[in-house]
Amino acid sequence: MFAAEDAQVAVAGRRKEPLEAVVREIQAAGGKALAVTCDVVIRREVEAAISSVVQHFGRLDTVVNNAGAVVVATAEETSDEDWSRVLAINLTGTFQVSRAAIPILRKSGGGSIVNIGSYLGIVGRQSRAAYCAAKAGVGGLTRAMALDHAKDKIRVNCVCPAIVETEMSLLFLSKAADPEAARKQRLAELPLGRFGKPEDVALMALYLASDESSWVTGTVFPIDGGQTAS
């Protein structure tokens, strides 16, 4: 979607194959894209990724932090390892990428950081202790960075989806004891009666990256089919 609006897009992640598939899709449509392998919890990899993007495209204007992981467990049931992993990927990863990008965005004359949080950073849910904590932290980090870097013309906002039809969420539902019942239960929680689509989230990220949102910073936007309103 960014590429369709003439953005040059770098996609980053741990697995090379899906990154290259996205790059091919963008290039086939006439756009420009770069695949960068990177684990967001490893500082040197993050810094190397940011550096390679700038070397390739010459500048950086927008960052979308979209790495995520979840564990289904209460606080009592959550192991040290799972707690550390969920916070590292969701919260520390967002911090690491943002910290590395801010000096580059400043040199570009400003820009936009879009953090993908979760509605579970706004409300709670049973057996999501680590995930709720991590995503609430993303919201707090968003507000703090927005205030710290408004003078640099860097805007920072957070998008908070409910369940979206992604590989991770569909796999999660498929592992339920009764997948169809689990699906119906989750749909019943959504006043608009459908799961989110990746395009729903991408449209908001695109808006927050664009000049149309030039007076928007420090916000936490639920995109959740009405779930947090109920």
Which residues are identified as catalytic?
131
Q: How far apart are CA 222 and CA 158, in angstroms?
A: 9
Count of CB atoms situated within 10 Å of the CB of 211: 6
Q: How far apart are CA 2 and CA 152, in angstroms?
A: 23
CB-side exposure of 188: number of CA atoms within 13 Å? 6
**DSSP secondary structure code for residue 138 in this structure:** H
**DSSP secondary structure code for residue 87 in this structure:** H
Residue with tokens 């009666």: 193
Q: How far apart are CA 60 and CA 62, in angstroms?
A: 6
- Are 162 and 190 in contact by the 8 Å Cβ rule? The answer is yes
Collapse the DSSP code of 2 into the 3-class scheme (helix H, G, I; strand E, B; otherwise coil) and give the result. coil
Q: How far apart are CA 94 and CA 75, in angstroms?
A: 22
- Are 54 and 60 in contact by the 8 Å Cβ rule? The answer is yes
Q: How far apart are CA 117 and CA 109, in angstroms?
A: 26
